């Protein structure tokens, strides 16, 4: 079950909110926990056992770390923290990377006319990657004494398995919601703001991201894309993944607000960033801040000289890239960003400066080139698209792309450009475009939402891209 589905909108969500609003405040965590498990079990009930097991392990070990702290048993604190992290990360590694390692081994064996290994592919459960990162951050925060261990399993499960962010984030830290888990108020204002965010997120996902998906698929399926093919597919994918994931994040933030939780923003106009550092302060903020606080700093951060700092930046982004999926092309995507961040830091430390007219296009081109291996997910596909982007396969649009691209795609591509550029041009426009609280400002999200539902009913639902990660 996904947010952009009839089952969720017409069945699960209304029934859940009826139960949630009818539940006394002290028992809402239980309703939220049970509802979230039902939401997850809709996909494959057997994998719910895995999610519940990880939840129990993180909760139990968090309590043990807290008790060891009270007794002053530093050794046990470290053991429980390290053991919990290794356990949940090992679970993620098995389900996410076992197939990749076997395929890599098979490719190596094929060079000596051996193999393949006897193997049945392991199915990656949805939500596992995000659940594991949240469990790791919780254990580390308890160990760092940033938060107190949660005594109630139901409350902890309501946090870790909360259905708005369960499947594809944002990555919510326990410290962001711990007070709301104890006591939260459900107000008409929060319900209204949350519903508005949900409707806008739903609309941009269905109308922009899903509409551009066929163009992206056609371009990346070409064995020898032309210059126009490659860049049209690349730019459409840049918009597709942004409006798909930012749309999901907006829906999750909106649902969280309706439940009484205030999640932080996960995107802030990333394609307007003038530097690669600024891009990562604007793109998937919950992940980039997680990588900084729990991986980069743990590796040593910038405390041991320039060379170590550049190495840590590279490793952090490379590991972050591999986290996105079991493919070496994801590692390449992360490595590109790691190198770019290291170069940016080197540049800034020496007091060098680029004017915005140069730094902005350089940043955007870096991001767009990096999206190529991210979407291609194979070396052959990546090389084919890069060759096309460099004009090595000719420049004119190919016949297969002509058959796919329709005027509607170009219309929504133009809308995507307008939405992305709007925050940059809005301050230069008349004050009449500011939020005035007029009735139409509340009405247009509803109208857009209803139109998006009608469009959704007319074609097959496109899964959220981050479900695969």
Residues 155 and 256 occupy one common structural domain: no
pLDDT, tens digit, 9 for 90 and up, residues 149-166? 999 999 999 999 999 998
Q: What pLDDT band is residue 350 in, cutting at 50, 70 and 90?
A: confident
Is residue 1 in a domain? Answer: no
pLDDT, tens digit, 9 for 90 and up, residues 373-397? 999 978 889 999 999 999 999 999 9
Residues 263 and 248 occupy one common structural domain: yes
Q: What pLDDT band is residue 430 in, cutting at 50, 70 and 90?
A: low
Which one has a higher pLDDT value, 426 or 41? 41
Residues 126 and 242 occupy one common structural domain: no
Is residue 278 in a domain? Answer: yes
pLDDT at 438: 57
Determine the Cα–Cα distance for residues 111 and 284; give it in Å rounded to an integer: 40
Q: How many domains does the chain have?
A: 2
Q: Of 381, 293, 286, nearest to 333 (Cα)?
A: 381
Residues 135 and 35 occupy one common structural domain: yes
Q: Which of these three, 128, 155, 184, is where a domain ends?
A: 184
Residues 6 or more apart whose Cβ sits within 8 Å of residue 197 = 250, 251, 253, 254, 257
Q: Which of these three, 184, 206, 235, is where a domain ends?
A: 184
Residues 441 and 464 occupy one common structural domain: yes
Residues 124 and 199 occupy one common structural domain: no
Three-state SS letters, the chain: CCCCCHHHHHHHHHHHHHHHHHCCHHHHHHHHHHHHHHHHHCCCHHHHHHHHHHHHHHHHHHHHHHHHHHHCCHHHHHHHHHHHHHHHHHHHHHHHHHHHHHHHHHHHHHCCCCCCCCCCCCCCCCCHHHHHHHHHHHHHHHHCCCCCCCCCHHHHHHHHCCHHHHCCCCCCCHHHHHHHHHCCCCCHHHHHHHHHHHHHHHHHHHHHHHHHHHHHHHHHHCCCCCHHHHHHHHHHHHHHHHHHHHHHHHHHHHHHHHHCCCCCCCCCCHHHCCCHHHHHHHCCHHHHHHHHHHHHCCCCCCCCCHHHHHHHHHHHHHHHHHHCCCCHHHHHHHHHHHHHHHHHHHHHHCCCCCCHHHHHHHHHHHHHHHHHHHHHCCHHHHHHHHHHHCCECECCCCHHHHHHCCHHHHHHHHHHHHHHHHHHHHHHCCHHHCCCCCHHHHHHHHHHHHHHHHHHHCCCCCCCHHHHC
pLDDT at 348: 84
Q: Of 395, 331, 333, nearest to 366 (Cα)?
A: 333
Residues 224 and 139 occupy one common structural domain: no
pLDDT at 460: 67
Is residue 447 in a domain? Answer: yes
pLDDT, tens digit, 9 for 90 and up, residues 54-72? 999 999 999 999 999 999 9
Q: Provide the residue range defining the domain that includes 241.
A: 191-468
Lowest mean pLDDT among 40-44, 93-97, 364-368, 458-462: 458-462
Q: Which of these three, 184, 209, 241, is where a domain ends?
A: 184
Mean pLDDT for 199-218 is: 94
Is residue 272 in a domain? Answer: yes
Q: What pLDDT band is residue 215 in, cutting at 50, 70 and 90?
A: very high
- Residue of 324, 337, 409, 459 marked active site: 324
- 324 is known as an active-site residue: yes
Residues 99 and 122 occupy one common structural domain: yes
Is residue 17 in a domain? Answer: yes
Q: Could you give the percent of the chain with pLDDT greater than 70?
A: 96
Residues 156 and 198 occupy one common structural domain: no
pLDDT at 469: 65
Residues 457 and 315 occupy one common structural domain: yes
Residues 76 and 47 occupy one common structural domain: yes
Mean pLDDT for 265-276 is: 95
pLDDT at 80 over 60: yes
Residues 274 and 393 occupy one common structural domain: yes
Is residue 30 in a domain? Answer: yes
pLDDT at 39: 94
Lowest mean pLDDT among 187-191, 214-218, 248-252, 455-459: 455-459
């Amino acid at each position: 079950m996904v947010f952009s589905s009839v089952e969720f909108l017409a069945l699960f969500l209304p029934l859940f909110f009826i139960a949630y609003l009818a539940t006394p405040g002290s028992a809402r965590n239980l309703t939220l926990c049970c509802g979230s498990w039902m939401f997850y079990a809709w996909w494959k009930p057997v994998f719910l056992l895995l999610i519940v097991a990880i939840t129990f392990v993180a909760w139990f070990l968090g309590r043990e770390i807290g008790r060891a702290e009270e007794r002053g048993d530093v050794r046990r604190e470290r053991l429980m923290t390290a053991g919990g992290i290794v356990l949940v990360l090992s679970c993620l590694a098995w389900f996410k990377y076992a197939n990749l390692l076997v395929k890599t081994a098979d490719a190596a064996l094929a060079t000596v006319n051996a193999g393949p290994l006897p193997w049945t592919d392991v199915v990656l459960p949805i939500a596992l990657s995000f659940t594991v990162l949240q469990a790791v951050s919780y254990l580390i925060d308890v160990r760092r004494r940033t938060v107190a261990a949660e005594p109630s399993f139901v409350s902890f499960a309501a946090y870790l398995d909360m259905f708005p962010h369960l499947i594809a984030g944002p990555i919510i830290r326990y410290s962001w919601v711990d007070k709301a888990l104890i006591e939260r108020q459900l107000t008409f204002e929060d319900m209204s703001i949350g519903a508005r965010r949900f409707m806008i997120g739903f609309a941009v996902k269905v109308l922009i991201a899903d509409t551009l998906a066929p163009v992206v698929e056609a371009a990346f399926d070409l064995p020898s894309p032309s210059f126009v093919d490659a860049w049209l597919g690349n730019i459409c994918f840049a918009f597709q993944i942004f409006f798909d994931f930012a749309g999901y994040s907006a829906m999750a933030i909106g649902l969280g607000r309706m439940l009484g939780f205030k999640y932080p923003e996960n995107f802030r106009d990333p394609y307007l960033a003038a530097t690669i550092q600024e891009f990562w302060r604007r793109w998937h903020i919950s992940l980039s801040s997680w990588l900084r606080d729990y991986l980069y700093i743990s590796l040593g951060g910038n405390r041991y000289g320039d060379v170590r700092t550049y190495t840590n930046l590279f490793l952090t982004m490379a590991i972050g890239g591999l986290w996105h999926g079991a493919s070496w092309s994801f590692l390449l995507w992360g490595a590109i960003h790691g190198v770019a961040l290291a170069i940016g830091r080197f540049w800034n430390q020496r007091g060098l400066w680029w004017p915005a007219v140069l730094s902005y296009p350089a940043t955007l081109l870096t991001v767009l080139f990096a999206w190529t291996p991210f979407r291609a997910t194979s070396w052959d596909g990546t090389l084919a698209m890069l060759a096309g982007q460099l004009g090595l396969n000719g420049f004119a649009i190919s016949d297969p792309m002509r058959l796919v691209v329709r005027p509607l795609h170009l219309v929504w591509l133009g809308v995507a450009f307008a939405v992305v550029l709007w925050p940059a041009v809005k301050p230069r426009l008349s004050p009449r475009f500011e939020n005035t609280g007029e009735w139409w400002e509340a009405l247009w999200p509803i109208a857009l939402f209803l139109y998006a539902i009608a469009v959704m009913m007319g074609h097959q639902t496109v899964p959220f891209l981050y479900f695969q990660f």
